Structure 1
Amino acid sequence: MTLDTYRDLANRLLRPWVRAAVAVGATPDVISVVAFVFAVGAAAAFYGATPLLYAVGALCVVVNGWLDLLDGAVARELGTDSVAGDLLDHVLDRYADVVIVAGLAAGIGRYDLGLAAVTGVLLTSYLGTQAQAVGLDRVYGGLLGRADRLALVGITGGLSVFIPAVGGFSLAAWLLALFAVVGHLTAIQRFVSAWRQLS
């Protein structure tokens, strides 16, 4: 399962948004920062852990994900894509991942699940870029990429408005457990793929 295979479709859907961003003078770096602000907003909403705040958090996550796609598309449109911009984007994405997972965990008081989930999330992203650092292509695939995680957080936030718990655990707890298990499996999958290419 990975939404990254739909990047071409996403890029086509982004065209009017790219034109609008360029028309108002938005730079890729500003878009990246605004995306991070929405991630912080999502984390704060998830920390509140009420049905209404879960809905707000879900909306913030959707906006964060959309802006995360938009910043790169605008950079390519303007011809301003750079190593510095890529670095800023990746750093803010990792901080966004951390604050969103932390907000979910703190909202339900499950810091153990939060720690397991955030390490899985960070190692997945690290292995994706580490492959590039050793001369391979950047790895986006695997069981659960960033696009998948954001989609699942958004869906879980939306469902949490109507479904408080399943099997005695909140949907946020189930999501964190999924991130913990599948995140580490994805990191291992990416490592094995890179190792085989280098061996």
Structure 2
Amino acid sequence: MTLDQYRDTADRLLVPFVSAADSVGLSPNGVSVIAFGFAVAAGGAFALAEPMWYALGAVFVFINGWLDLVDGALAREQGVSSKAGDLLDHVLDRYADIVILVGLSAASGSFVLGLAAVTGVLMTSYLGTQIQAVGLGRAYGGLVGRADRLALIGLVGAASAVYPAAIGAFTLVGWLLVFFAIIGHFTALQRFWGAWSDLT
């Protein structure tokens, strides 16, 4: 189950935000860059590992995720959808994933755990675009897509602002990284197996 399946519903909710972005003269690429800026701010906030900064990081993550939807909807509204814009969006999304997870890794104090998490996340996204590259369409399936990741990061960030202490071996942030490390690679393999079955 993944939040990506609700993209049509999200598109309807985006209408006033798309109209506002269009009215102030923003381009889809401009929105993508602003979204990335919020991801960088989120990573920096999480790295400070203080309750107030966890809360701010959560807000920044939610804004990043919402703007990531706005840029595509704005491109369609303005009739300027392009491969170049899609490329920029995907590149900034991957860097956003990295910088947010690096911030969470700093907060957890375990960069080994962070490395396992970020490779799981990147492989999930890579399989999504690689499946598209071989002609099967963009893959959003699997247990955890990008929308799910951002929602979980935002929720855990907010929860960490209230309860930053460890639960067993890890804090909430540490357990989130464990989850991403395991589920991320599992989702990547799930996408691979689905595509492999379609191709063979």
TM-score normalised by L of structure 2: 0.98
Gaps of 5+ in 2: none
Gaps of 5+ in 1: none
1:194 alignment partner AA? A
1:98 CA drift (Å): 0.3
Q: Which secondary structure does the structure 2 equivalent of 1:161 belong to?
A: helix
Is the deviation greater in 163-172 or in 74-83? 163-172
Q: 1:174 is matched with which residue?
A: 175
Is the deviation greater in 162-171 or in 143-152? 162-171
1:185 alignment partner AA? F
Q: 1:192 is matched with which residue?
A: 193
Q: 2:82, 2:141 → 1: CA distance?
A: 23
Aligned 8 A contact 2:108 2:170 in 1: no
Q: 1:168, 1:13 → 2: CA distance?
A: 40
- The C-alpha deviation readout for 1:67-95, integer Å capped at 9, x for no partner, is 00000000000010000000000000000
- The C-alpha deviation readout for 1:30-56, integer Å capped at 9, x for no partner, is 000000000000000000000000001
Q: 1:4 is matched with which residue?
A: 4
Runs of 4+ in 1 over 4 A off after TM superposition: none
The number of residue pairs the alignment matches comes to: 199
Q: 1:124, 1:38 → 2: CA distance?
A: 22
1:117 alignment partner AA? A
1:108 CA drift (Å): 2.2
Aligned 8 A contact 2:144 2:184 in 1: yes
1:109 CA drift (Å): 1.3
2:155 alignment partner AA? I
Q: 1:108, 1:46 → 2: CA distance?
A: 9
TM-score normalised by L of structure 1: 0.99
1:167 CA drift (Å): 2.3
Q: 1:163, 1:26 → 2: CA distance?
A: 38
Q: 2:31, 2:167 → 1: CA distance?
A: 37
